[in-house]
Chain A
Amino acid sequence: MSNLQHPALSEIFNRDEDRVNWHDDTLWWIRAKRDKAAQGISEWELLRETASQIKNNVLSNLHQYLEEFEKNALANGIKVHWAADAAEHNKIVHGLLAAKGITQMVKSKSMLTEECHLNDYLEQKGIDVIDSDLGERIVQLAKEPPSHIVLPCIHKKKEEIGQIFHENLGTEAGVSDPQVLTETARIHLRETFLTRRSALTGVNFAVAETGEFVVCTNEGNADMGAHLADIHIASMGIEKLIPKKKHLGVFLRLLTRSATGQPITTYSSHFKKPRKGQEMHIVLVDNGRSVQLGRESFRNSLKCIRCGACMNTCPVYRRSGGHSYHNAIAGPIGAILAPNLDMKKYSDLPFASTLCGSCTNVCPVKIDIHDQLYKWRQVIVKEGNSPAAKTMAMKVMNFTLASPTRFKLAGKIGRWTLKHAGFTVNNGLNPWYKHREMPEPPKESFSEWYKKNNP
């Protein structure tokens, strides 16, 4: 990825207006499906509140739940590893493969491994990784990161996918029928599943009480990989824990209804013990989470169950695309998680929002996303990490507002400019105008009007 920030990356995405409209409409359609699914359940708000309280409890007892989970998982015959950061996670995974002389791995969807850049790391070590989720396979072949946590290639048109398949999987040129392309991927990936001795999956939920973990997919790729491999590695962020098995009832009801409007994923697999002759490993990854836990204003972001509802509803995400967030997790939730990892690099993201609050309203675990975006802005500016243009604008504003004389003069100049020389501000050179239509200038300021009418 380049060093460009959100405004510049959005501008690239916005060069093709038809595509932006299509992207916008597609995601809004998914948001509408989510609404229909949520409204189909009369106790929806109670479910959200319950899920939120369970997650609050998890965060406030995470230490105890992690120890409990580890103990139970070990008793189940699962090997447990701890990784303080991305580098350690990658090293652990590679170590497990190297110990068995394995050079090929199949992977199902795991945003954590995107966060850790595992594929790049393993590639450098000479290990071939194939992503098996269809959307992830497509972006992998296109040499791009996923642009959405649930819908990795939502930014791609079927004709482009057809071309990728033509170049990589030998389909005929010009074929873009989703049915045909999916069948091609099915055959190609069956071969992969059958020949890989190692499989890595993500984890949707891990249960402290029982030491089992749950992986949800629609395609069945996590199960195909795991059940055919000699060694199954599951990578999970430490915040994925839930206290008891019965709590899965709450989360499985919320997850897909929020994500895609489905009542549940096709497969919700509960892995408790390795199968006979198989090795099963869990890597518990911190990578900044324990720090975020200590940030009172931002710790709620760790309640996230990665449904993507906040992205689908976000007017900025829909019109700027996932890649404009230059982070493994895009959209509103990505914008509050990323600054914790690197405040300078991601200082632009909390500003990529209108603070409309739609993300907060759809969040199934009630994360106050738009409040956190606002709070991150304050932290970022205070720590001197705000974008240069914004800092300058704020300084000029401060200078102007600090003196009544300067304020009056600035108002006069502004009104005159908008009236007589509107083109100097209503143009592409003014970054403010890029997002806004400048208003009709009033003839006089309020204080001028007041003076005239109240002699």
Chain B
Amino acid sequence: MSRAQILSAILNNQPQSTLLPEDLQFDSPSNEVVSEKFCQMINLIGGKVVVIQKVEDINLYISEHFTKSDRIITPIEELDYFTPFTGDEVPHDFVNTEFAVFKTHFAVAENGAVWITEDRMGHRVLPFITQHLGMLVEENQIVATMHDAYKKMADAEYDFGTFVAGPSKTADIEQSLVLGAHGARSMTIFLLK
């Protein structure tokens, strides 16, 4: 059995144990600075920020940017397009989704990433398979760095979670940046003041 063989080879060969380093800690800038940095990063990574005063304002954005025939899905209850999920959905059925919008847990200023877990996705595949993606971020839920991010989610339980930073992209052809590789073609951040 390879398990025993591998583990015993490792035990024989691993060097004297060294200690883990101390956790990195940095002073967090003010909320305003963090929020401004986040918006800058979103623009840099090909996303877009729409400032809203209340969650329902997203309805307006949707009606301005999509047509009646577009399939729009959201697990956010406050929105007109709220879609209930039973947990038994077949992921392939979401292939024609034009726009999906989700409520994130928090965002990270240094790289424009938002953290979202499966329980807020409706279905795991949805943030990836949708043509266009919206993410609701509360302005007071933006942390400065990834260290802060993992501190914030230290005890969080999830089956699947992901940091999403901007639209899907590739530069595999001669390093020319193209948005919309396999995931969403665009990402809009709804920044709730």
In the assembled complex, how far is the CB of residue A93 from the closest CB belonging to chain B, in whole angstroms?
14
B183 & A267 in contact (Cβ 8 Å cutoff): yes
State whether A223 touches B20 (Cβ < 8 A): no
Q: Verify if A407 is at the interface (C-beta below 8 Å from B).
A: no
How far is B15's CA from A61's CA once the two chains are assembled, in angstroms? Answer: 8
Q: Do the beta carbons of B181 and A219 come within 8 Å of each other?
A: yes
Tell me if A134 and B91 are in contact (CB < 8 A). no
Number of A-B contacts (CB under 8 A): 241
**Nearest residue in A to B173 (C-beta to C-beta)?**
A178
Nearest CB of chain B from residue A417's CB, rounded to whole Å: 46
Contact of A46 with B by CB under 8 A:
yes
Interface presence of A262 (CB below 8 A)? yes
| B21–A54 touching, CB < 8 Å | yes
CB distance from B151 to the nearest CB of A (A): 7
Give the interface centre of B10, B15, B23, B182 by most chain A CB atoms within 10 Å.
Answer: B182
Q: Which of A281-330 contact B (CB under 8 A)?
A: 284, 286, 290-291, 293-294, 296, 299
Interface: B69 (CB within 8 A): no
Q: Is B9 in the interface zone, CB < 8 Å from A?
A: yes
Measured CA separation A227–B121 after assembly (Å):
12
Find out whether the CB atom of B113 lies under 8 angstroms from the CB atom of A186. Answer: no
A53, B45: Cβ atoms under 8 Å?
no
> In whole angstroms, what is the CA distance A50 to B147 when docked?
12
Do the beta carbons of A265 and B160 come within 8 Å of each other? no
Total number of A residues with any Cβ neighbor in B under 8 Å: 86
Inter-chain contact A299/B129, CB cutoff 8 Å = no
Known A-B contacts A53-B18, A84-B6, A299-B15; the reply to A250 vs B24 at CB < 8 A is yes
Considering the complex, which residues of chain B in the window 83-102 have a beta carbon less than 8 Å from any beta carbon of chain A?
87-88, 91-92, 95
Contact A182 B173 (CB under 8 A): yes
Q: Are A248 and B146 in contact (CB under 8 A)?
A: yes
**Is A206 an interface residue, CB under 8 A from the partner?**
no
CB contacts (< 8 Å) of A183 on chain B: these are: 180
A158 CA / B175 CA spacing, docked (Å):
10
Q: Is the CB of A157 within 8 A of B174?
A: yes
Q: Do residues A221 and B181 form an inter-chain contact, with CB atoms below 8 A?
A: yes
- Within residues 11 to 65 of chain B, which ones have a CB less than 8 A from any CB in chain A? 11-21, 23-24, 26, 41, 44-45
Q: Is the CB of B21 within 8 A of A134?
A: no
Interface positions of A from 245 to 283, Cβ below 8 Å from B:
245-246, 248-250, 252-253, 260, 262-273, 275-276
Q: Which residues of A contact B150 (CB under 8 A)?
A: 245-246, 248-249
Query: Is A179 interfacial (CB 8 A cutoff)?
Result: yes
Q: Nearest-CB distance from B109 to chain A (Å)?
A: 10
The size of the chain B interface, using a CB distance under 8 A, is: 74
Flag if A152 contacts B172 (CB, 8 Å).
yes
Q: How far is the CA of A181 from the CA of B178 in the complex (A)?
A: 10
A161 contacts partner chain B, Cβ-Cβ < 8 Å: yes
Known: A30-B175, A219-B168. A132 touches B182 (CB 8 A): yes
A270 contacts across to B, CB distance below 8 A: 158, 160-162
- B residues near A265, Cβ cutoff 8 Å: 165
Q: Is the CB of A190 within 8 A of B182?
A: yes
A153 interface residue per 8 A CB criterion? yes
- Is the beta-carbon distance between A153 and B154 smaller than 8 angstroms? no
Inter-subunit contact A84/B87 (CB<8 Å) = no
The yes or no answer to B184 lying at the interface (CB within 8 A) is yes
Interchain CB contact under 8 A, A158 and B180:
no
Residues 169-193 of chain B, each 1 if its beta carbon lies under 8 Å from chain A, else 0: 1111111101011111000000000
Cα separation A260 to B111 with both chains bound (whole Å): 14
Distance A218 CA – B163 CA, assembled complex (angstroms): 11
- Whether B167 sits at the interface, judged by CB under 8 Å, is yes
**A223–B21 alpha-carbon span in the complex (Å):** 32
23 of the cross-chain contacts (CB-CB < 8 Å) are: A30-B175, A47-B24, A53-B18, A62-B10, A153-B172, A178-B176, A193-B182, A219-B170, A219-B183, A227-B125, A227-B128, A246-B154, A249-B24, A249-B147, A260-B171, A263-B41, A265-B165, A267-B165, A267-B168, A270-B160, A271-B160, A275-B118, A286-B6
Nearest 10 interchain pairs by C-beta: A220-B183, A294-B13, A263-B111, A219-B181, A135-B172, A227-B125, A290-B9, A178-B173, A264-B111, A273-B159
Binding site for B on A (CB under 8 A): 26, 29-30, 43, 46-47, 49-50, 53-54, 56-57, 59-63, 66-67, 82-84, 88, 132-135, 138, 151-154, 157-158, 161, 178-179, 181-183, 185-186, 189-190, 193-194, 218-221, 223-224, 227-228, 238, 243, 245-246, 248-250, 252-253, 260, 262-273, 275-276, 284, 286, 290-291, 293-294, 296, 299
Interface residues of B (CB under 8 A from A): 1-3, 5-7, 9-21, 23-24, 26, 41, 44-45, 87-88, 91-92, 95, 108, 110-113, 118, 123-125, 128-129, 145-147, 149-151, 153-154, 158-176, 178, 180-184
